[in-house]
Amino acid sequence: MTQLSVNINKIATLRNSRGGNVPNLLEVAKDLQSYGAQGITVHPRPDQRHIRYDDALKLPTVLTTEYNIEGNPIPKFIDLVTQIKPDQVTLVPDAEDAITSNAGWDTVKHKAFLMEVIQEFHSHGIRTSIFVDPIEKMVEGAKNTGTDRIELYTEAYAHHFKNDPEKAVAPYTLAANVANKLGIGINAGHDLNLENTAFFKQNIPNLLEVSIGHALVSESLYLGFENVIPLYLQRLSS
């Protein structure tokens, strides 16, 4: 079964918009795990507009499942991750002012840099994943960095899913086949939701993990976390 990691950035955004500690990020993380989430993901950015660095430091006190920290490996981020030593770090090449992640790494151009960063994380026993577009050359480049996994950037799939699901998923299936041949683990995330997740999972061989935040939190406004988490688990087990 593909694992579900819930990105809780939006919970922090809601809290920060009012000040104080409502909703309580740590309590939400505990609840999500109790409802069946198999991991918690955070993506701290330098301006700390949602997840703050101190949130990332406190979360291990309540986590009983996998902890995944995403972000651009600037020095401050590297220091944070090596201090926490989460189960997984996902490297994302987002600009400091990006609203959300909007592209995968050019793993060929940035090979030397990624290799250096990955070696640093490996020295602390942290599994690494690289955020990539579904392009064969980028998957092959990821292999050459020494990463453990890739995370397929699924915005394009989600955007085109309603019009032509088969066409939307085709490049991702090809990228996954390349990753499987190279022996790299496969994660995925960005704009996956209750409508498009099952089809994606069915067409990606050996999909290990999905990270879902914005859609899951939005759907939970109507259905509640306690109902939404099992719905995702059902789709990921089909």
pTM of the model: 0.95
Question: What pLDDT sits at residue 94?
Answer: 79
Which entry of 70, 151, 209, 219 is annotated as an active-site residue? 70
Asked if the model's pLDDT at residue 1 lies above 90, the reply is: no
Question: What pLDDT sits at residue 103?
Answer: 77
Active site residue 70: yes
Question: What pLDDT sits at residue 238?
Answer: 78
Q: In the chain, pLDDT over 70 holds for what percent of residues?
A: 97
Question: What pLDDT sits at residue 99?
Answer: 47
Residue 22 to residues 7, 163, 224, 232, Cα–Cα distance (Å): 17, 39, 17, 25
**CB-CB contact of 80 with 53 (8 Å):** yes
pLDDT tens string 88-137? 999 999 765 554 556 799 999 999 999 999 999 999 999 999 999 999 99
Active site residue 43: yes
Question: What pLDDT sits at residue 102?
Answer: 60
Q: Return the higher-pLDDT residue of 89 and 46.
A: 89
In the chain, where the domains are located: 3-236
pLDDT tens string 151-206? 999 999 999 999 999 999 999 999 999 999 999 999 999 999 999 999 999 999 99
Active site residue 96: no
Determine the topology of domain 3-236 in CATH: TIM Barrel (3.20.20)
Which entry of 43, 66, 151, 219 is annotated as an active-site residue? 43
**Residue 14: strand, helix, or coil:** helix
Instruction: Please give the mean pLDDT across all residues of the chain.
Output: 95
Which entry of 66, 151, 190, 209 is annotated as an active-site residue? 190
Asked if the model's pLDDT at residue 219 lies above 80, the reply is: yes
Q: What is the DSSP string of 161-222?
A: TTT-HHHHHHHHHHHHHHHHHHT-EEEEESS--TTTHHHHHHHSTTEEEEEE-HHHHHHHHH
**CB-CB contact of 199 with 164 (8 Å):** no
| Peptide bond between residue 23 and the one before it cis (omega within 30 degrees of 0) | yes
Asked if the model's pLDDT at residue 35 lies above 60, the reply is: yes
d(CA 121, CA 115) in angstroms, rounded, equals 10
Mean pLDDT of 204-229: 98
At 30, list the tokens. Answer: 């505990």
d(CA 90, CA 56) in angstroms, rounded, equals 14
Question: What pLDDT sits at residue 101?
Answer: 54
- Residue 5 phi, psi (nearest 5): -110, 130
